[in-house]
Amino acid sequence: MPTEVQEETLTLEEVLAGLKEMHRLILWNDDVNSFDHVIYCMMKYLDYSEGQAEKIAWKVHNEGKCAVLEGSFTEMEVYRKILQQEGLTVSVE
């Protein structure tokens, strides 16, 4: 049985804009993940110190979201997928 693949088509302008602009990885508050898990993920995947990761966890808890990384769209998408696999709620802006 053949596998169906869905293609996403981008214009040249969209591709170039994604390369030039700085995008932000946003971590969102949820009712699922513990502080310890968020701190662990920030340290393991984004190389934050324990203190920095704890500040991020508190900011997400108190404000609902926090920008945790900036870079190219492609780079942010890689980290978004990694953190989503860990169960975190993240998006790219």
Is 9 part of a structural domain of the chain? no
* Residue range(s) defining the domain that contains residue 40: 20-92
Tell if the pTM clears 0.85, that is, is over it.
no
Mean pLDDT of 30-40: 95
Grade residue 24 by pLDDT with cuts at 50, 70 and 90. very high
Mean pLDDT of 25-47: 96
Is 79 part of a structural domain of the chain? yes
Q: Which pLDDT score is estimated for 37?
A: 97
Number of domains observed in the structure of the chain: 1
Mean pLDDT of 30-38: 95
Buried b / exposed e along 30-66 (16+ C-beta atoms within 10 A): eeebeeeebbbbbeebbebeeeebbebbebbeeeeeb
Is 38 part of a structural domain of the chain? yes
Q: Which pLDDT score is estimated for 79?
A: 96
Nearest-angstrom CA–CA distance, 46 and 22: 17
The string of pLDDT tens digits covering residues 75-93 is: 999 999 999 999 999 999 9
CATH of the domain at 31: 3.30.1390.10
Unique residue bearing structure tokens 């966890």 = 57
Is 10 part of a structural domain of the chain? no
